[in-house]
Amino acid sequence: MKQKRAYKYRISPTDEQKHRLARTFGCVRFVFNWALRQKTDASYNEHKWIYYKDLSEMLTALKKQDEYAWLNDASSVSLQQRLRHLEKAFITFFEGRAQCPTFKKKRHQQSATYTSNAFVWRNGMITLARMNEPLDIRWSRPLPDGSKPSSVTVSKDSAERSFISILVEEDSEHLPPSVQSVGADLGLKSLVVLSAGEMVGNPKCFAKDEKKLAKAQRRHAKKKKGSNKARKKVARIHARIADRRRDFLQKLSTRLIRENQTICVETLAVKNMVKNEKLAKAISDVGWPEWVSQLEYKANWYGRTLVKMDRWYPSRKRCCACGHLLDALALDVREWTCPACEVHHDRDINAAKNMVAAGLAVSACGEAVRPDAVKTKAGTPRRSRKARP
């Protein structure tokens, strides 16, 4: 089965390449902001919608004006790709899967995408359009044998680190089937509690560097506007925190995908949970949505099954031994004894066991996982009228 995958590497551009990339990033950023302004103004003032085709024609006319002749310094492919990215961003926004696109800033992450007609792939080296030398890529892992890049994306983060993401099409081989299944209960003290009883600790990546970050931010606040040295120090700390968190989550998600055929996780309303002032920082640091997203695409790659439980499923209040459902369970109660069968439960392990049991039922025969739930004609679980208070 052919699948497209992106391989990201660190690059070390020369001074000339840095200058060329900086000009490209600036042109791409301007085109994105210009196109976003055109779309919003047309929507609010003229009550019409501008599509990619219209923007492409407007961009061609804009580049012919003497005032914007500097846009020709960048590859036209990168500018057109940025218009496509804006169109896709609005599609995902209208589908409810992302926020509304906003204007790009110079100090934030910069990127430019080149399709196959805007770069040369030869002898394992990539030369971008309008560049004379190939990029110095740190090959941390090899590309699949016989693969040919279809597009590349060059990016630079706030810490002034440069990367290249190479998109290739490769044969995806599913992992051998496994008889094991696991339920994962998400938390703060332990990042994940598995149904087998294993508790994966929370690395607390942000908390470890919080004091160092606060000190760097205080120094940056006292500097004059435009102080790059202080700003880069803050950005490097943020980058180190994000790298550690991403590395930990990637390794954990890969291990669970390799060991289990079915992974059952709960669905959390993180957007609502971060409104709690006391827990907002810890919830943002743990990275639950990123981890579930990694499980989702890796399960698709390797032929595994990921079951997302309904957020209202009472996994913590239901006894995994007899199915008795408590009326209420306070957050500070970490252990409880079932009044029906007198089995003593750890709150999180009990929740993980309930999730794997319900998740297997959902995977096998499409059972509903909400209490007193019925199925609609389309097969979507909904609450019955009798179950409503």
What's the distance, Cα to Cα, between the start and end of the chain in Å? 49
Q: Is 348 a catalytic residue?
A: yes
With residue 51 as reference, give the H or E element that holds it.
none
Catalytic residue among 16, 41, 266, 310: 266
Which residue in this structure is represented by tokens 């006391």? Answer: 278
Q: What is the largest CA-CA distance in the chain?
A: 82
- Cα Rg of the chain, angstroms: 25
For residue 296, indicate whether it is catalytic. no
Choose the catalytic residue: 73, 169, 310, 348: 348
Using alpha carbons, list the distances in angstroms from residue 341 to 54, 191, 336, 347, 357: 68, 29, 12, 16, 18
CA distances from 251 to 173, 182, 248, 284 (A): 19, 17, 5, 19
Provide the token pair at 58: 């407007």
State both tokens at 79: 């500018």
Give dist(CA 49, CA 241) in Å, integer. 40
Phi then psi dihedrals of residue 213, to 5 deg: -65, -40
Does the annotation mark 247 as catalytic? no
Q: Catalytic pick from 95, 185, 209, 285?
A: 185
Instruction: Give the active site residues.
Output: 185, 266, 348
